Chains A and B, each alone.
Chain A
Amino acid sequence: MSAARLPRDLHPVAWWLWALGLAAVGSLTLNPLLLMTVIGVAVVTVTLRRGDHPWSRAFRIYVWLAVVIVVLRVLFRVLLGGGYGGTVILRLPEIPLPDVVLGIQLLGDVTAENVLGGFYDGLRLATLVLCVGAANALANPKRLLKSVPPALYEIGTVLVVAVTVVPQLADSARRVRAAQRLRPGPTGRVRSLRRFLVPILEDALERSLSLAAGMDVRGYGRSGDVPARQRLRTGALMVLGLMGVAVGTYAVLDTTAPRWLALPMLLGGLGVAVLGMLSAGRAVVRTRYRPDRWRAAEIAVVASGLGAAVLGWWVSTYQPVVAYPELLSVPQLSLTGLAAGLLGLVAAFAAPPPVLATGGPPAAFLVREREGAAA
């Protein structure tokens, strides 16, 4: 086995870009075959390459969410979508509604177009949800937040702490609920809410104080020796850049604005903002321990995701029959379309297996040694 295939954690940004690529393919088509292919690729990759951390186990929740979305879509079409004609496959009694809600029909004839349209639409949404879920299961959200540029470090820290606090809050809620059942006390609805909330809030406050103390004694927020002049320069660059971005975005969206205000302004603003970030980043004294590095595997994963997105875009532009099939005909899949769906699977094999938190099996020679000792 070459060194590149040994277990290690892939750069979280690589997984996210890959997942966004898959999501792009999904959002550019209504072809159920293509959507199913994308879903299959996401599920296979997650199964092969996720670790055993809590966030990896959360993928199941996304799967359930996706199923619920598809079922709800179809159900709503059946409930409300009648009255537009088409091939009737089931006749249900129509529930009469007052004239105020004109245009809405409750139940009534169920048409194949309706059901299929709802199914395709739901499938597309489910694909997007599963792609995000896959990224979440494959990449450590905390490491992703840590990959932000140094200038955004403070925001990253706030997000990391917020991510940590949620499971802790759930723990403390469970503990307090159990503890309050141990004592006699009032049982009214409002009063029991108080019994429950007060200890949790106290606990949360105490936790945040000890976390703040823990971060402070470990040197968080040390003032680097940044001269006032540089601080001023950084601030000015950031403000100017953000203003440029705001004006540029407005001009891009509002077609009546002068054209020189649109793209040039947006790009100029972005450029200035990046300069500001670089300037801020230079003033930061912090360093990163074992930063995630970009290697061949990362590039392959990103390339497979983005490649799939490009193919998906090509299909939706030049093969509209494949991307948006007729509702009543059997959907077709072109070779390019299939390639767009399957290209993402490259990531599952390009990425190395993850490092497991629980540790792998013991080394073979250790087992032998132990057996020898036992004998």
Chain B
Amino acid sequence: MIELRNISLTYAGPDDRPRRVLDAVDLTLEEGDLVLVAGRTGVGKSTLLGVLSGLVPRFTGGALTGRVLADGADITQTPPRERTGLVGYVGQDPAAGFVTDTVEEELAYGMEQLGLEPATMRRRVEETLDLLGVADLRDRDLRTLSGGQQQRVAIGSVLAMHPRYLVLDEPTSALDPTAAEEVLATLTRLVHDVGLGVVLAEHRLERVVPFADRMVLLAGGGAVREGHPADVLRDAEPDQPAPPIVELGRLAGWDPLPLTVREARRRARDLSVTPPEPAAPAPSTGRAVAAEVRGLTLARGPRVVLRDVDLTLPAGRVTALMGRNGAGKSTLLWALQGASPGTRHGGSLRVVGVDGPVDPTDLPRDDRWRRVGLVPQTAADLLYLETVAEECEAADGGAGAPAGTCAGLLDAMVTGIEADQHPRDLSEGQRLALVLAIVLTAGPDLLLLDEPTRGLDYAAKRVLAGIIGDQTAAGRAVLVATHDVEFVAGVADAVVVLAEGEVVSDGPVRRVLAESPSFAPQVTKVLGPGWLHVDEVARALAGAGR
């Protein structure tokens, strides 16, 4: 049993104003439970996990008060390296924490530090390989693994030290829906079979809530609600994060709230609503085409990354690009931007602007942003100056736009950013907005977004959806590569699914998402095809009530 008693953490904020992240938090964690830590961005989820592992305040700074007790013994001052038998910690980016270079050595590294007998190590490595289902990867180079495999190896590498608790920070945020399910299934198995206590923080509640035994909701201002997920979510304020299924339950007034699709489906039998009329059949014929890809084939060495890809991006529309990790989504985006991410073996690329269609590869390399705006996965790579204002000025100057263009765009997107803030001090969503504003300063006709929802909470995603809506209203074509099914359901007009570099599915969002069991949003799973998101149900219910 780990107990947090009166834990507070204060950072020295700007202007020497102390910023309190955790405020007198009391929490008790039992072994054998899967505990979900939820809350809005910046509320202190990662900090709470860091306090458990001992990395906070050692690696982050800040003043920690209160006590951490393990079975009654005070371990507040114990460094992480001495807590290995109690807590195993896996950070947000598992690849960044890898010390060795092959799977087997990575699993053994922690045990080497503990000084275990070689025979014990050998046995535990084999057990761990089996437990996590990565036995066939044992000799693989860690950098060649997919995201889901890396995550499982990272879990295994701390598990081999036999901790009693496993603490994970956003273990599924970078994963496609199937890989996320695999990781969560593995965690559930550890809880059930090994009796491990698992504590994890996650933004995408729709993925984790069905597996959670208990939920800790950090509601801000030090308020902590904890209990069974259904109870916590029922009592939470509407502005706290909740998965679509719970919002549906709240709308329909179901009690107790359903947490799994199966429960919700049973309750939905007596919900009589008619699905919304499918949107007026494609007015896209009259619309201008912003970009067109025909038969594009790209290879990197002997490996074919994209094969015969056809894609049409109409102006004023949002297209979502989905598919497994490594299916070629990012490559397609970079190809559309004009940077050749491989050798092109045929096919054509066209981006249509005011002065006619052009192959982006033929544009000058440092000038393509005028036509095509791309926000890459690590958006922070675009930032290099000390304040938000300087970044905006640099963008205005570089693009030849009137002074204040970028700052104006930023203000229209999000509020609450001070001009003299350092970009690194912004929240994930604010930083994304800043990068978007910089990219949009040049006024490109085509906007490409690579995994923009990573690390965003539901509120930030709604803001992002609003921004994307404004762009299409301005006549831009938007292509979003993402794993986030619910986000796609809310924002996209059409969906293209890639597998192994080939287009396997292409069409209006309603049809493509409903076709696939792994890509279907929760509302579709509960109410059947024809439904996409909760707002539609709300409208239908309001209509029926009238």
Interface residues of A (CB under 8 A from B): 53-54, 142, 160-161, 164, 175-176, 178-187, 194-195, 198-199, 202-203, 206-207, 209-222, 224, 284-291, 355-357, 359
Chain A residues near B441 (CB-CB < 8 A)? 184
Do the beta carbons of B373 and A220 come within 8 Å of each other?
no
Chain A residues near B12 (CB-CB < 8 A)? none
Partner of B105 from the list A210, A211, A289 (CB cut-off 8 Å) is: A289
Given contacts A182-B373, A355-B139, A357-B139, contact A219 B378 (CB under 8 A): no
Do the beta carbons of B381 and A199 come within 8 Å of each other?
yes
Partner of B112 from the list A210, A287, A359 (CB cut-off 8 Å) is: A287
Closest chain B CB from A147 CB (angstroms): 14
> Roughly how many angstroms separate A161 CA and B91 CA in the complex, as a whole number?
19
Partner of A219 from the list B55, B102, B113, B381 (CB cut-off 8 Å) is: B113
State the total of A-B contacts with C-beta under 8 angstroms.
Answer: 181
Q: How large is the interface on B (under 10, 10 to 19, 20 to 34, 35 or more residues)?
A: 35 or more
Do the beta carbons of B112 and A185 come within 8 Å of each other?
no
Given contacts A199-B380, A290-B108, contact A213 B438 (CB under 8 A): no
- Which of B64-72, B77-85, B221-229, B513-521 lines the interface with chain A? B77-85
Q: Does B161 contact A (CB under 8 A)?
A: yes
Given contacts A176-B381, A186-B397, A199-B381, contact A209 B376 (CB under 8 A): no
Most buried by A among B54, B376, B381, B385: B381
Chain B residues near A176 (CB-CB < 8 A)? 381
Chain A residues near B158 (CB-CB < 8 A)? 217-218
Do the beta carbons of B374 and A182 come within 8 Å of each other?
yes
> Roughly how many angstroms separate A142 CA and B98 CA in the complex, as a whole number?
14
Chain B residues near A291 (CB-CB < 8 A)? 118
For chain B residues 25-62, which have a beta carbon within 8 Å of chain A?
53-55, 58-59
- Which of B170-178, B238-246, B364-372, B481-489 lines the interface with chain A? B364-372
Do the beta carbons of A214 and B339 come within 8 Å of each other?
no
Q: Does B208 contact A (CB under 8 A)?
A: no
A-B contacts, 22 of them at CB < 8 A, read A178-B334, A179-B381, A181-B365, A182-B337, A183-B369, A183-B438, A184-B442, A185-B397, A198-B385, A199-B382, A206-B96, A214-B97, A214-B99, A218-B157, A219-B161, A220-B113, A285-B115, A286-B113, A287-B117, A290-B104, A290-B118, A291-B118
For chain B residues 287-344, which have a beta carbon within 8 Å of chain A?
334, 337, 339
Do the beta carbons of B114 and A210 come within 8 Å of each other?
no
Q: Does B122 contact A (CB under 8 A)?
A: yes
Shortest 6 CB-CB contacts between residues of A and residues of B: A214-B97, A184-B398, A289-B108, A179-B381, A184-B399, A219-B113
Partner of A183 from the list B99, B161, B365, B398 (CB cut-off 8 Å) is: B398
Closest chain B CB from A190 CB (angstroms): 13
Chain B residues near A194 (CB-CB < 8 A)? 384
Q: Does B63 contact A (CB under 8 A)?
A: no
For chain B residues 132-158, which have a beta carbon within 8 Å of chain A?
136, 139-141, 144, 157-158
Chain B residues near A221 (CB-CB < 8 A)? 81
- Residue of B with least CB distance to A167: B143
Closest chain B CB from A367 CB (angstroms): 16
Q: Does B395 contact A (CB under 8 A)?
A: yes
Closest chain A CB from B220 CB (angstroms): 26
Chain A residues near B374 (CB-CB < 8 A)? 182
Interface residues of B (CB under 8 A from A): 53-55, 58-59, 79-84, 87-89, 91, 93, 96-102, 104-105, 108-118, 121-122, 125, 136, 139-141, 144, 157-158, 161, 334, 337, 339, 365-366, 368-370, 373-376, 378, 380-385, 394-401, 424, 435, 438-439, 441-442
> Roughly how many angstroms separate A214 CA and B439 CA in the complex, as a whole number?
34
Chain B residues near A195 (CB-CB < 8 A)? 384
Partner of B93 from the list A210, A290, A356 (CB cut-off 8 Å) is: A210
Do the beta carbons of A213 and B365 come within 8 Å of each other?
no
Further 13 A-B residue pairs, CB within 8 A, beyond A218-B157, A218-B161: A184-B369, A184-B394, A184-B395, A199-B382, A199-B384, A210-B96, A211-B96, A215-B99, A216-B81, A218-B84, A218-B113, A219-B161, A286-B115
Partner of A179 from the list B83, B139, B144, B378 (CB cut-off 8 Å) is: B378
Do the beta carbons of A185 and B381 come within 8 Å of each other?
no
Chain A residues near B144 (CB-CB < 8 A)? 357
- Residue of A with least CB distance to B111: A289
Do the beta carbons of A199 and B383 come within 8 Å of each other?
yes
Chain B residues near A219 (CB-CB < 8 A)? 81, 84, 110, 113-114, 161
Partner of A290 from the list B115, B122, B384 (CB cut-off 8 Å) is: B122
Chain B residues near A178 (CB-CB < 8 A)? 334, 339, 376
Given contacts A287-B118, A357-B139, contact A216 B79 (CB under 8 A): yes
> Roughly how many angstroms separate A43 CA and B98 CA in the complex, as a whole number?
33
Chain A residues near B424 (CB-CB < 8 A)? 202
Given contacts A175-B378, A219-B84, contact A53 B141 (CB under 8 A): yes
